């Protein structure tokens, strides 16, 4: 049962990684713009009532905005990971286990989080006077 769960989690991580890469790609955005232009130039678009036209325009803007937001988030996330990796690598007592954490699986990140919770508890016990 655990193997099925792990394999499902790995598969989901791969799918989300691929989807994030594809949705943040400029070629995908160009295809989306072409799709919206095609829909707006289609005769069915013009025979609709005004409410359907407004709904389609809003849907198109939302659809294209999703690609733009995904692209900007991917750029921001990559630069943030790079900065954090540089800080961790430059600090001598830091554990290198957190370097490239964005490439680790969800299970590995959970294990690292548990290790840090235990480390925090140890530090609290050392600092608190008995």
How high is the pLDDT of residue 53? 84
For the residues of 14-66, what is the DSSP string, one character each?
Answer: HHHHHHHHHHT-HHHHHHHHHHHHHHHHSHHHHTS-HHHHHHHHHHHHHHHHH
pLDDT above 80 for 102:
no
Give tens-digit pLDDT for 50-69.
888 888 889 999 988 888 88
How high is the pLDDT of residue 34? 92
Of 4 and 82, more confident: 4
DSSP 128: S
pLDDT above 60 for 130:
no
Query: Mean pLDDT over residues 75-85, rounded?
Result: 78
The span from the CA of 20 to the CA of 27, in Å, is 13
Contact 9, 105 (CB under 8 A): yes
Contact 104, 73 (CB under 8 A): no
The span from the CA of 97 to the CA of 113, in Å, is 11
Percent of the chain with pLDDT strictly greater than 70 = 96
């Amino acid at each position: 049962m655990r193997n099925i769960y792990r394999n499902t989690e790995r598969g989901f991580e791969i799918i989300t990684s691929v989807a994030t890469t594809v949705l943040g790609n400029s070629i995908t955005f160009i295809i989306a713009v072409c799709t919206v232009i095609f829909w707006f130039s289609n005769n069915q678009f013009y025979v609709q009532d005004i409410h359907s036209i407004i709904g389609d325009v809003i849907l198109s803007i939302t659809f294209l905005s999703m690609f733009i937001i995904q692209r900007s988030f991917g750029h921001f996330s990559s630069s943030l990971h790079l900065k954090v990796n540089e800080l961790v690598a430059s600090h001598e007592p830091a554990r290198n286990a957190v370097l490239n954490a964005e490439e680790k699986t969800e299970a590995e990140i959970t294990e690292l989080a548990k290790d840090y919770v235990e480390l925090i508890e140890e530090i609290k016990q050392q600092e608190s006077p008995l």
